[in-house]
Structure formats: structure tokens, C-alpha cells
């Protein structure tokens, strides 16, 4: 088991170390993930129902109120 | 633009962006697995180099596409909260399985695929490549099942106390004909596009007379794969359209530009639409020009050349002869259902069990047309017919072109004449962007054609949207447009550099 885990570790370690074009891609991926999860998710994409209401009952009541009122 | 329009525009932008990369992942993963299988079977080193070249491009595309789908999930929770709640555990299970499959299968075996050359056995490496292909396609299955449910909601029961649709039969959802056809058609179209990509890039090299043998071999695999995929794409597309005819007749009418229904309905193979008719008695010139195939639409829709195919006006006004209820009737029932739900909720809160029971009964009797109750004018229930028609015909026309490209490419590659057919090489090269246009057109048909519904017949897009400040939606729309354009340019530069700079070691 330990031998397997060691082999798996070195597979990733040696793989990442020997990357060429992969390094640039990883920079882009990390920029994208930062932008998505740190900037966008936190500042622009709160979960509307989870933020506004404390329980599923309140969320359900709110949605029923929304779907039973006439369209604007 | 209203809040719902900005929210829709944002979702469309991010979904179209996401779909630039997904088809290549789905298809090239299989093409690579096939190439590597040939290497393992023959032992010829050139096939290993071929596999590694396309694997690098697969990796670049995979990395570019990473997390583009996550944004859509963010938007569900922020911009489409009513919809997210309404679809309840219908979406939860498929999206959770998608995430788990993506993590365990793709991520694990992708590392072996890229890092495992000369470190693991040939057999294990090959198995990993196949598992990446299978894993990515299985991930796609679940989101497509969820989308299929939006088009043809089955296997659920609406809970009027929680306002959520609850899954009552997982297999009805997973194996609904709409879900099965959507999955098979979507993946076969992705395989078709991936084959076009390989052929297109290979064509560029042959035009430059570089690495000729390398890319001839690549073309052989891609043309064979592409031909099989495109034939299957046509077959599943045909079945999908029949499914739409059954479950979304208004979308079908829009796809075919059919305002007045008829028996022995002809298929408009090519057409330029004229003025939109106002009603069934309109004298407007619907078509500026068209080429029709007699009886073909009836045959394709119902496998009967004499079948009645309802047009837009038959669905809006009803057709007693054909047993088609009118939108006016559906609107009446929908309004009853909406009112009954509101009254049921009120009665439940006040503890009036008799009134709650009566309203619940009325609600259940009329729930089938719940979504229609939001509308007064049935014309608001008609999607954009010209846009749906042109998108559908663009997709189909290009699909037929791709089939021809694969046939000719395969013939000339087998005859070892492909490098001399420069006209075909140019066609193949330019088919890469055409493949993208076909892909995106298909999604426009699927998602624009279903309007005004976000869940067919139950929830219109207008009620699905969150009641948020639309300035924030505009800001994020602009942020997405700018950021993703910049990232896309950077990523494409890496891809193009990798493609153009390749040299097969002087072989």
C-alpha cells in the first residue's frame, strides 16, 4: 500500500515537474479558478435563497409566493 | 433590457462559451484512445507519437474548458433561484453524480494518461486513456439528463407544500426517450466535431507538406471515426426531432417554420422566411423562397406520409378535428391551477383544512397546464420561429456537409491521394469553425425553441428568475464577456502555437 502511494505521488510529482506547455495552462487555470471562486462566487454570485432565508420552509413559502403571483 | 433578458443573456453567453470546449473533450478522448489502441496492437512508434500529439491538444482543450461549467451552477443559485428550487431533487442527483464521476474517473486517470508514459505498463496506460474517454462521456450524461427533463418533465411529483418537484422514479428520468435521444445525439455530434478538428488540423499540415505520413494516419482514424459518428448523429437527430414532435409540438413547428398545420406536410429543406403571419387567415407571404420535399415532414414526424403535423396556429387556436386543445383552454386551466395553489397555501396557513382540500383538488386537476396560467395572450407562448428555423436548418445542413467530408476524406486517404486533393484539404480546414457553428446552432434550437418555457408547460423563464438587482447581472455579464474573451485569446494562442510548432522529429 505504501509502495503504491509512493508510486502515485511520484507519478504526479515528476509529471508536474516535467510539464512544459502544461505550466502555462496551469497558470491560466489557477487565474480562472481564483476569479471564479474568490471574486465571482463571493461578490457576485451568492446563493439567493440560502442568503435571504434561514430555513427550507421559508424558501418554499417564498417560491410559492413568487410562482403564484402574476407576471410583470 | 429587463432583468430576465440580462439573466438569459448571461446564461446563454456562459453556456455557449462552455460548449466551445466540451465537444472536443468528449470526442478527442475517444479518438486518442483508438490511436493508442493501434499503437499497443501494432507496436509502431509512429502511433505513439500520433497519440501523444493529439493528447497534448486534448489536454490544452481540457484545461481551457476547466471550470467553464461551474459558472452555470453559480448562475442557477443566484439568477435562477425560483427555477433551482422548483426543479428540486430532479437536478440535484444528476449533477452530484456528474461531479463525482468527473472527479474520480477523469481526474484520476487523466494523470496516468499524461504522466504515465514509460511509468506504467502499456496495458494500464491504454486502459486509463479509455477510462478518461468513458468518464468524460458519463459526466455529460447526467447534465444532459437534467436538460432533457426540462424539455420533457417526467418521473416527478410536485409538492405544493414545498414548491419542489420530487423525483418519484429515477429510471423514468434517466431513461426517458427524450433523455436517451438527447444524450446519444449530443455525444455523436461532439464526436463528429472532434473528428472534424483532427481532420482539419491534419489538413493544415498536409497543405504545408509537413509531417505528411503522421497526419495521413491521423486522418484515417478521424475520418473513420467521424463517418461512423456522423451517420449515428443523423439517425439520433432524426429520432430526437420525432421526440420533439411528440413532446414539444410548438418547438417542432418553429423548427420547421410551420404556421398552418396540414396532413401530407412537405418538408422545407431550404427556405428563406418572409413576413410572420399574424394569424391563420393572414395573407402575409410566409416564404420568400423555399425548396420542399412533398409529404416528407409528415413522414419524418410520425413515420406516416399522411400524418397531420400541427402548425403554430393549430396549437394556439386548437384543432378540434385533430384533438388539439387550444392555448386559450390551457391558459384557463393554468390560471385555475395557480389560483388554487395560492388559495391552498393561504388555507393551510390559516388551518382551514376543508378549503385547503378543495383547492388542492382543483390544483391537481389543472396542474398539467400550470405554466400557461401566467399568460393572457397565447402569442406570448410562441418561440422565435425564424431564429429556431434557421438555427435548425444550419445545424442539419452542416451535418450533411460533414458526412460528405468524412466520406471523401476516407476514400482519398485509403487511396493515398489525400495530400493531392488540396480543395478537400481546404474544405476540411474550414470545417473546424463550421463544426462549432453547427454545435452552437443545435443548442440554440434546443434552448431558444423551448421558450417561453424553462420547464416545459410548468414554469416559464419569466417566473424562474430571481428577484435581484439587475445592475449586478449587467456587471457580471460584462465581466464574463471581457475576462473570458481575454482568457480565450490566451488559450487559443497556446493551442495554435502547439499545433503550428509541431515537428515529428524529422520522421
- Helix, strand or coil for residue B141? helix
Q: What is the pLDDT of residues B77-95, one digit of tens each?
A: 889 999 999 997 788 877 7
Which of residues A28 and B248 earns the better pLDDT score?
B248
The pLDDT of residue B281: 67
The pLDDT of residue B479: 87
Selecting from B163, B462, B472 the residue whose C-beta is nearest the C-beta of A60 gives B163
Distance from CA of A21 to the nearest CA of B (A): 8
The pLDDT of residue B398: 97
What the block records as the C-alpha cell of B84 is: 433551482
Q: Does a cis peptide bond (omega within 30 degrees of 0) precede residue B452?
A: yes
Neighbour-count burial for B214-240, b at 16+ CB within 10 Å, e otherwise: bbbbbbbbbbbbbbebbebbbebbeeb
Chain A hits for B376, Cβ within 8 Å: none
- Helix, strand or coil for residue B468? coil
Q: By the 8 A CB rule, do B54 and B28 touch?
A: yes
What the block records as the C-alpha cell of B446 is: 434546443
Selecting from A16, A32, A45 the residue whose C-beta is nearest the C-beta of B78 gives A45
pLDDT over 80 (residue B408): yes
pLDDT over 60 (residue B507): no
B268 pairs with which residues across the strands? B292
Count of CB contacts below 8 A, A vs B?
120
Is the Cβ pair B115, A11 closer than 8 Å?
A: yes
The pLDDT of residue B458: 96
pTM here is 0.93
Is the Cβ pair A11, B479 closer than 8 Å?
A: no
ipTM greater than 0.85? yes
- Does any CB of chain A come closer than 8 Å to the CB of residue B86? yes
What residue spans define the domains of chain A? 2-67
Distance from CA of B479 to the nearest CA of A (A): 9
The pLDDT of residue B307: 96
The pLDDT of residue B501: 87
The pLDDT of residue B391: 97
- Helix, strand or coil for residue B351? coil
Arithmetic mean of pLDDT over chain B: 92
The pLDDT of residue B283: 58
> CB neighbours (10 Å) of residue B160?
21
Q: Which of residues 24-63 of B touch A (CB under 8 A)?
A: 56, 59-60, 63
pLDDT over 90 (residue B421): yes
The pLDDT of residue B277: 81
- Does any CB of chain A come closer than 8 Å to the CB of residue B117? no
Ranges B52-56, B277-281, B410-414: which has the least confidence? B277-281
Which residue does chain B place closest to A28, by CA atoms?
A: B487
The pLDDT of residue A43: 82
Which residue does chain B place closest to A64, by CA atoms?
A: B163
- Does any CB of chain A come closer than 8 Å to the CB of residue B124? no
pLDDT over 60 (residue B282): yes
Q: What are phi and psi of B323, to 5 degrees?
A: 70, 30
Which of residues B507 and B350 earns the better pLDDT score?
B350
Distance from CA of B278 to the nearest CA of A (A): 24
Place of cell 449515428: B232
How would residue A26 be classed by pLDDT, with cut points 50, 70 and 90? confident
How would residue B70 be classed by pLDDT, with cut points 50, 70 and 90? confident
The rounded distance, in Å, linking the Cα atoms of B243 and B152 is 9
Which of residues B173 and A12 earns the better pLDDT score?
B173
The residues near A52 (Cβ < 8 Å, ≥ 6 apart) are A62
For residue B101, the number of C-alpha atoms closer than 13 Å in the C-beta half-sphere is: 19
Is the Cβ pair A67, B459 closer than 8 Å?
A: yes
Ranges A25-34, B175-184, B313-322, B351-360: which has the least confidence? A25-34
Is the Cβ pair B59, A67 closer than 8 Å?
A: no
pLDDT above 70 covers what percent of chain B?
A: 98
pLDDT above 70 covers what percent of chain A?
A: 99
Chain B hits for A38, Cβ within 8 Å: none
User: How confident is the model over B7-17, as a mean pLDDT?
Assistant: 91
Neighbour-count burial for B33-60, b at 16+ CB within 10 Å, e otherwise: bbbbbbbeeeeeeebbbbbebbbbbbbb
The rounded distance, in Å, linking the Cα atoms of B291 and B104 is 51
Ranges A16-30, B73-87, B178-192, B360-374: which has the least confidence? A16-30
Ranges B108-112, B256-260, B349-353, B456-460: which has the least confidence? B108-112
Question: Chain A residues within 8 A (CB-CB) of chain B?
Answer: 11-12, 14-16, 21-22, 24-26, 28-29, 31-33, 35-36, 40-41, 44-50, 56, 59-61, 63-64, 66-68, 70-71
Mutation for A interface: B11, B14, B73, B163, most A CBs within 10 A: B163
User: How confident is the model over A27-53, as a mean pLDDT?
Assistant: 85
pLDDT over 80 (residue B106): no
Q: By the 8 A CB rule, do B397 and B484 touch?
A: no
Neighbour-count burial for B479-497, b at 16+ CB within 10 Å, e otherwise: ebeebbeebeeebeebbee
Q: What is the pLDDT of residues B116-147, one digit of tens each?
A: 998 899 999 999 999 999 998 988 999 899 99
Q: What is the pLDDT of residues B22-45, one digit of tens each?
A: 999 999 999 999 999 999 999 999
User: How confident is the model over B168-195, as a mean pLDDT?
Assistant: 96
The rounded distance, in Å, linking the Cα atoms of B105 and B331 is 47
Q: What is the pLDDT of residues B332-364, one digit of tens each?
A: 999 999 999 999 999 999 999 999 999 999 999
Amino acid at each position: 500500500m505504501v509502495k503504491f502511494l509512493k508510486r502515485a505521488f511520484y507519478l504526479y510529482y515528476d509529471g508536474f515537474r516535467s510539464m512544459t506547455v502544461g505550466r502555462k495552462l496551469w497558470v491560466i487555470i489557477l487565474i480562472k479558478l481564483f476569479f471564479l471562486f474568490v471574486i465571482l462566487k463571493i461578490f457576485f454570485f451568492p446563493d439567493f435563497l440560502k442568503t435571504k432565508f434561514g430555513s427550507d420552509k421559508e424558501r418554499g413559502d417564498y417560491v410559492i409566493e413568487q410562482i403564484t403571483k402574476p407576471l410583470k | 433590457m429587463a432583468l430576465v433578458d440580462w439573466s438569459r443573456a448571461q446564461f446563454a453567453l456562459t453556456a455557449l462559451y462552455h460548449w466551445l470546449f466540451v465537444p472536443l473533450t468528449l470526442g478527442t478522448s475517444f479518438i486518442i484512445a483508438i490511436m493508442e489502441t493501434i499503437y499497443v496492437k501494432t507496436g509502431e512508434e509512429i502511433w505513439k507519437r500520433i497519440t501523444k500529439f493529439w493528447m497534448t491538444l486534448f489536454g490544452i482543450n481540457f484545461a481551457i474548458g476547466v471550470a467553464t461549467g461551474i459558472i452555470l451552477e453559480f448562475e442557477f443559485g443566484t439568477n435562477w433561484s425560483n427555477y433551482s428550487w422548483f426543479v428540486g431533487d430532479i437536478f440535484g442527483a444528476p449533477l452530484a453524480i456528474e461531479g463525482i464521476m468527473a472527479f474520480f474517473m477523469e481526474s484520476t486517470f487523466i494523470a496516468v494518461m499524461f504522466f504515465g508514459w514509460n511509468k506504467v505498463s502499456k496495458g494500464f496506460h491504454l486502459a486509463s486513456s479509455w477510462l478518461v474517454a468513458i468518464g468524460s462521456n458519463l459526466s455529460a450524461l447526467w447534465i444532459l439528463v437534467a436538460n432533457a427533463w426540462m424539455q420533457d418533465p417526467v418521473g416527478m411529483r410536485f409538492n405544493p407544500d414545498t414548491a419542489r418537484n420530487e423525483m418519484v422514479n429515477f429510471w423514468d428520468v434517466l431513461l426517458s426517450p427524450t433523455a436517451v435521444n438527447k444524450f446519444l445525439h449530443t455525444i455523436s455530434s461532439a464526436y463528429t466535431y472532434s473528428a472534424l478538428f483532427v481532420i482539419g488540423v491534419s489538413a493544415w499540415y498536409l497543405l504545408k507538406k509537413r509531417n505528411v505520413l503522421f497526419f495521413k494516419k491521423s486522418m484515417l482514424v478521424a475520418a473513420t471515426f467521424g463517418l461512423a459518428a456522423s451517420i449515428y448523429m443523423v439517425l439520433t437527430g432524426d429520432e430526437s426531432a420525432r421526440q420533439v414532435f411528440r413532446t414539444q409540438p410548438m418547438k417542432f413547428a418553429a423548427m420547421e417554420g410551420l404556421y398552418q398545420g396540414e396532413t401530407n406536410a412537405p418538408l422545407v429543406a431550404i427556405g428563406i422566411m418572409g413576413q410572420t403571419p399574424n394569424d391563420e387567415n393572414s395573407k402575409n407571404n410566409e416564404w420568400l423562397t423555399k425548396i420542399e420535399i412533398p409529404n416528407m415532414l409528415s413522414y419524418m414526424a410520425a413515420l406516416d406520409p399522411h400524418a397531420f403535423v400541427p402548425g403554430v396556429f393549430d396549437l394556439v387556436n386548437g384543432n378540434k378535428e385533430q384533438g388539439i386543445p387550444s392555448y386559450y383552454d390551457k391558459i384557463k386551466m393554468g390560471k385555475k391551477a395557480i389560483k388554487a395553489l395560492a388559495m391552498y397555501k393561504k388555507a393551510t396557513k390559516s388551518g382551514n383544512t376543508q378549503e385547503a382540500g378543495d383547492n388542492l383538488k382543483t390544483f391537481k386537476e389543472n396542474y398539467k397546464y400550470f405554466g400557461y396560467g401566467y399568460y393572457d395572450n397565447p402569442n406570448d407562448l410562441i418561440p422565435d420561429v425564424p431564429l429556431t428555423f434557421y438555427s435548425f436548418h444550419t445545424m442539419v445542413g452542416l451535418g450533411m456537409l460533414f458526412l460528405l467530408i468524412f466520406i471523401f476524406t476516407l476514400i482519398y486517404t485509403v487511396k493515398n491521394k489525400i495530400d493531392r486533393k488540396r480543395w478537400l484539404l481546404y474544405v476540411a480546414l474550414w470545417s473546424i469553425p463550421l463544426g462549432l457553428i453547427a454545435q452552437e446552432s443545435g443548442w440554440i434550437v434546443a434552448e431558444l425553441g423551448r421558450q417561453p418555457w424553462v420547464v416545459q408547460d410548468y414554469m416559464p423563464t419569466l417566473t424562474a428568475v430571481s428577484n435581484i438587482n439587475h445592475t449586478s447581472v449587467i456587471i457580471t455579464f460584462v465581466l464574463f464577456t471581457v475576462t473570458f474573451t481575454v482568457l480565450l485569446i490566451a488559450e487559443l494562442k497556446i493551442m495554435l502555437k502547439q499545433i503550428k510548432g509541431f515537428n515529428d522529429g524529422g520522421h
